[in-house]
Structure 1
């Protein structure tokens, strides 16, 4: 059920449904191709709560519905759900499927084309392949980011490790993933100190 690459959101909806049908308990972590993050908390196959872009419940569901290409990770060791949002599984799936175009009569192939991310058109200034990060540095960076954004750090770091041109640039990109400016500055300072930059 773990997704290593981005998939059209309507395919991820099927994965979430499957976890619910299996009666699973844990946390679904979703990251979109434009680095939007969401968490869906499951309790015995029921969606207990949704968090997305600092919102909860129906507002979070509306934000979640706007995602197009998504990466999913399910963690059954994280079972702490915040207060229930009062959303039924049926309401959640109807909202998500409607947003994905399935309930409005659009075929899956058309939805997939609409949901596919556009090919990047930015010119490459320097090849990321010319810069590599050793495993110890990756672990240090990811562990530090985890303090600030939680388990999403693993997914976010992997995306940025692949695109990094240098360590300072990587730190700046990752600091941009932390919504709170004070925390982002603390993260930046902490890593610059740990990496002696």
Structure 2
């Protein structure tokens, strides 16, 4: 647990990278194993992703991180750029949202999103990934995308079929050749006996 930093400390790290005009990606993994990333170009935050959401939606999810680990990498090739306010406004909104969030009562689950209505009986069955398939897919993603692969895996775990996996990969990876390669490898993992 000594490696964990508070969200405020991670935002200070982000400010420091921005002040140094860094270009790259700050990856965060929360103590609850959710991931987020900030893309910087010459010190400006140009990309923000958390649990398959981008921009303002991602800011709300980042604000839920109580503590986590962070790592900065010089590459930002795989991050999707979005329109964001200036750096200080992004950081302020995240920290303000965290401080105004109601504290969870011990023994009760936090609600993060409305529960979707039940699927009709004729709807396709949800894709069920085994632990070994999840591990193999995440390995392929991390080998290709680095820490960003864990973020893509967060989205894939919620996918209901192969077409939604393709969409999840395309949301993060803009290079068609890399998308095609990853999708092919994932299909191979899912169809392996």
In 2, Cα distance between the equivalents of 1:152 and 1:43? 18
Contact 2:54–2:82 under 8 Å retained in 1:
no
| 1:179 corresponds to | 158
In 1, Cα distance between the equivalents of 2:138 and 2:50? 21
SS of structure 1 residue aligned to 2:85: coil
Contact 1:31–1:155 under 8 Å retained in 2:
no
Contact 2:141–2:150 under 8 Å retained in 1:
no
Deviation at 1:188, TM superposition (A): 10
* Change in CA separation of 1:188 and 1:41 when aligned onto 2, cut-off 3 Å: same
147, 151, 162: which one pairs with 1:152? 147
Q: Which runs of 4+ in 1 moved over 6 A?
A: 153-156, 174-177
35, 39, 42: which one pairs with 2:33? 35
SS of structure 1 residue aligned to 2:27: strand
Unaligned runs of 5+ residues in structure 1 are 105-113, 115-139, 157-173
Deviation at 1:78, TM superposition (A): 2.8
Residues 52-75 of structure 1: per-residue CA shift (max 9 Å, x gap): 122111111111111111111111
Deviation at 1:177, TM superposition (A): 7.2
| 2:123 corresponds to | none
Deviation at 1:85, TM superposition (A): 1.6
16, 19, 32: which one pairs with 2:17? 19
Residues 94-136 of structure 1: per-residue CA shift (max 9 Å, x gap): 11232454xx8xxxxxxxxx9xxxxxxxxxxxxxxxxxxxxxx
In 2, Cα distance between the equivalents of 1:10 and 1:175? 23
Contact 2:52–2:155 under 8 Å retained in 1:
no
Q: TM-score, normalised by structure 1?
A: 0.54
SS of structure 2 residue aligned to 1:48: strand
In 1, Cα distance between the equivalents of 2:51 and 2:74? 22
Q: TM-score, normalised by structure 2?
A: 0.55
* Change in CA separation of 1:153 and 1:48 when aligned onto 2, cut-off 3 Å: closer
Deviation at 1:27, TM superposition (A): 1.0
In 2, Cα distance between the equivalents of 1:82 and 1:175? 16
* Change in CA separation of 1:80 and 1:43 when aligned onto 2, cut-off 3 Å: farther
| 2:81 corresponds to | 83
